[in-house]
Structure formats: structure tokens, C-alpha cells
Amino acid sequence: MNDRERIVNRDLSLLDEAHYGGRIARAEYRARRRNVLSALRDSHGITARKAVVRPARPADVPDADVVPALLGRTTRSSRMLLALFAAGALACAVLLGLLFVTS
């Protein structure tokens, strides 16, 4: 343990005694403790955390359509899938219309 760490430990123990003895309020204790710890952190040359930065996405990569990517097909087959879905929806609408007309 170096001299700076000993000084910080002494300051922290004095703060603890003052807080538990009721001589300083909790908010003041926390503020002073933050200051003591930040002084130690700054004395070691660590001033800020290094944020993890995600690499930028290249601009030349086109956005892919979701349906072909999921099904592994080209754009032409996704249009066919859309046409089949529309035909099925139309068939359901006709059948439901027939059910409600006969009731």
C-alpha cells in the first residue's frame, strides 16, 4: 500500500467515525466519501471509464428484406408468398361472408 492509499484509508475511517458518531449527515458523508475516492482514482491516472464503442456499420451494405432473409429466397419468391397470403385472406373473407349470410 502506498502513501496515497494510506491517506485515503485514514480519511475514510475518519469519515466513518464522524458519520456513525452523528457529527455529519448521511448526504454529507456520501459527498465527502465520493470526493475522497475520486481523489484516489485521479491520483492513479484513471479519470474516466473507457466506453465500449461498436464499430460503425458500412454505408455500402444494403438493407436486406426480412422475408427473403428468413426464408432464404429471392425477392421474386417473396412476392409469390405475398400473393398467396392475399389469396388466402380473400378466400377466408368469402367463406366468412357465406357463413354470416346463411345464418
- Reported as a single tens digit per residue, the pLDDT across 10-50 is 999 999 999 989 998 999 999 999 988 887 776 655 555 56
Domain boundaries, the chain: 3-43, 66-102
Are 29 and 23 in contact by the 8 Å Cβ rule? The answer is: no
Mean pLDDT of 57-81: 62
At 101 the pLDDT is 65
d(CA 50, CA 46): 10
Q: Would you state the pLDDT for residue 58?
A: 62
Q: What is the pLDDT of residue 88?
A: 92
End-to-end CA distance of the chain: 89
Tell which residue, 83, 86, 57, 89, has the closest CA to residue 75. Answer: 83
